[in-house]
Amino acid sequence: MTSKFSPKTIQQLDDNLEREHATIDIFNQAMEDNDADTAREVCEFVINDDETRNSGYSRGWQFHCLKWLTAHYIVRWQSSPDDSEEETIALDGLMESLWKHKWLIGSLPCDVSLSQDDIKEATDSMSTLYKDFELSQAMVYKARLEQNIYMGNVADAKKNSAKWQSEEKDNMSDCDACEQNTLIAYYNFIGDHKKVEQLAKPILSGKLTCSEVPHTTYPPVINSMIQLGKLDEAQEILNDAIELIRESSEHFLWLMSLMIQFAMRLNNQDLALELLDEFSNNIVKSIKNNHFEYLQYLIAVAPFNDEALIAARGLAKNFDDRNGNRHYQNQLDFLFTPPTLH
């Protein structure tokens, strides 16, 4: 059956919310029509669209696509003749789906509509798949660590960090820059800011880099510099981060919300207002399907807009109610506490 999916048509829609609704409608129609080719192309597009994969589609919809795609390729692989071209195509698709589990499962908590049970079920499924295909559990523990950070769970983060670092690496492991980046995020999260400063040196110097790094490294490093009272260094790194994000694709635009927050914490209100004026419209268009990124934008706007502050408090509470703590409500409160020198 010929696919009825046109990626170009989806990309021409005005914003990510429209794109998500359109892809859901096409997928559902494909299911009604028993049209596996169209369903597969929709799922691969939603999962593999590099320009928007972090914020273009909700994590819940992305995981639905990844789950369907994985099952689809398993069935094709199992039903293909041995050593056939079809078996090779199916196995390649399956391994690509297993690879995509790494970056998606860890960020599932960004979707506040997903319950803790939903997140656990998805992670357990990843663990089972990796065991079935004799892959290391390192990336499973890393995904759990990333979930712990998003959900404000320090105790479990420490446990999963130790398990992740004790597992042997294999072909599913991330590059050295990404591994270092996660360590930096972890030590910032547990409050070991001296360790962050040490680990960040090869990344900030350009010795360790990849498509995601240093972009996503800047927030934990800037926060750690502020926590250490090194405010001038924090401002310098912030300036570098802003320039890099300016030059990057929409994929990293949501990070500007964090840069605005840091500008406020460094008592640089003029810079925060300048960034809001320059980037607000594009940020809002790009984050409509990502609750976590929307919360960060609301927190950035909150010092200047009472309605944004109310909305931020409400969404932060939704996250914290799901997570069972006050992590995001505390983050919001902390924004209004000026830094102090140590």
Written as one letter, the residue type at 236 is E
pLDDT 10s per residue in the chain (342 long)? 567 788 888 888 878 889 999 999 999 999 999 999 999 999 999 998 655 444 589 999 999 999 999 999 999 999 999 999 999 999 999 999 999 999 899 999 999 999 999 999 999 999 999 999 999 999 999 999 999 999 999 999 999 999 999 999 999 999 999 999 999 999 999 999 999 999 999 999 999 999 889 999 999 999 999 999 999 999 999 999 999 999 988 889 999 999 999 999 999 999 999 999 999 999 998 898 999 999 999 999 999 999 999 999 999 999 999 999 999 999 888 776 655 544
Tokens for 310?
């109310």
14: which 2 tokens?
């005005």
- Quote the pTM value: 0.94
Helices 231-247, 218-227: axis angle to 10 degrees equals 170
Q: Reduce the DSSP state of residue 248 to 3 states and report it.
A: coil
CA–CA distance, 208 with 203 (Å, rounded to integer): 5
Task: Record the tokens describing residue 195, joined without a space.
Answer: 């360790």
Q: ω into residue 220 within 30 of 0, thus cis?
A: no
CA angle in degrees (0–180, nearest 5) for 242-258-14 = 85
Counts of helices then strands in the chain (DSSP H, E) = 17, 0
Distance between CA atoms of residues 212 and 191, nearest Å: 23
Between the alpha carbon of residue 151 and those of residues 85, 114, 218, 315, 332, the distances in Å are 43, 12, 20, 14, 15
pLDDT tens digits, one per residue of 243-289: 999 998 888 999 999 999 999 999 999 999 999 999 999 999 889 89
d(CA 156, CA 159): 5
Confirm if 225 and 198 have CB atoms less than 8 A apart.
no
90 touches 80 (CB < 8 A): yes
**Alpha helix (H) ranges present in 151-192?**
154-166, 176-190
* Residue 91 contacts residue 326 (beta carbons within 8 Å): no
C-alpha neighbours within 13 Å on the C-beta side of residue 210: 11
CB 245 within 8 A of CB 252: yes
Give the pLDDT confidence of 299-323 residue by residue, as tens digits: 999 999 999 999 999 999 999 999 9
- Angstrom distance (rounded) from CA 131 to CA 115: 25
Long-range contacts of 162-169 (CB under 8 A, 24+ apart): 163/137, 164/138, 167/136, 167/137, 167/138, 167/141, 168/136, 168/138, 169/136, 169/138
